[in-house]
Amino acid sequence: MAGVNKVILLGHLGRDPEMRYMPDGTAVANMTIATSESYKDRDGNRQERTEWHRIALYARTAEVAGEYLRKGSQAYIEGRIRTRKWTDKDGQERYSTEVVGDRLQLIGGRRDGADGSNPAPQHGGGGDMGPAPTDEFDDDIPF
């Protein structure tokens, strides 16, 4: 039986997405998202722990992130864990673990001074992360 590699995150961006394009023109957005959880320590004091997650988005999902997300934006991401391995200029093997996002939903609307009358777009791609048709762009609020 095959295993399951599924990640769901709801958090805030630590910086604006970094956009780049592959040689074939496919958009790539790299960003970090912070998630926080609270707990009480032994003395009953409330503590907060923040985890930072590296996110990679591709194709139309990356373009949406680059257009609408900014530092501090809240976003919902569904994806899978991927670890990349490479050799640096000194010959050392390096590893980087990140979440490859299959689905992105913007939470809270646009942050660039828009009047808020347009809800935040949401975008989800299939498992292949190939270019998604633009008609998958759903501007309706899901509730």
Per-residue model confidence (pLDDT) at position 130? 41
Mean pLDDT, range 43-55, rounded to an integer: 95
Supply the pLDDT for residue 108. 79
Residue 126 lies in a domain: no
Any domain includes 55: yes
Q: CATH code at 18?
A: 2.40.50.140
CB atoms within 10 A of CB 121: 17
* Beta bridge mates, 48: 38
Asked if the structure places residue 97 within a domain, the reply is: yes
Query: What's residue 63's pLDDT?
Result: 97
Instruction: Note whether residue 1 is domain-resident.
Output: no
CB-hemisphere CA count at 13 Å for 35? Answer: 12
pTM exceeding the 0.85 threshold for the entire prediction: no
In a domain, 59, yes or no: yes
Report yes or no on 71 lying in a domain: yes
Range of the domain at 57: 7-38+48-112
Asked, for residue 79, whether it belongs to a domain, the answer is: yes
Q: What is the pLDDT of residues 57-97, one digit of tens each?
A: 999 999 999 999 999 999 999 999 999 998 999 999 999 99
Residue 128 falls inside a structural domain = no
Task: Give the model confidence (pLDDT) of 105-142 as tens digits.
Answer: 999 765 554 444 444 455 554 333 344 333 444 445 55
Per the structure, the count of domains in the chain is: 1
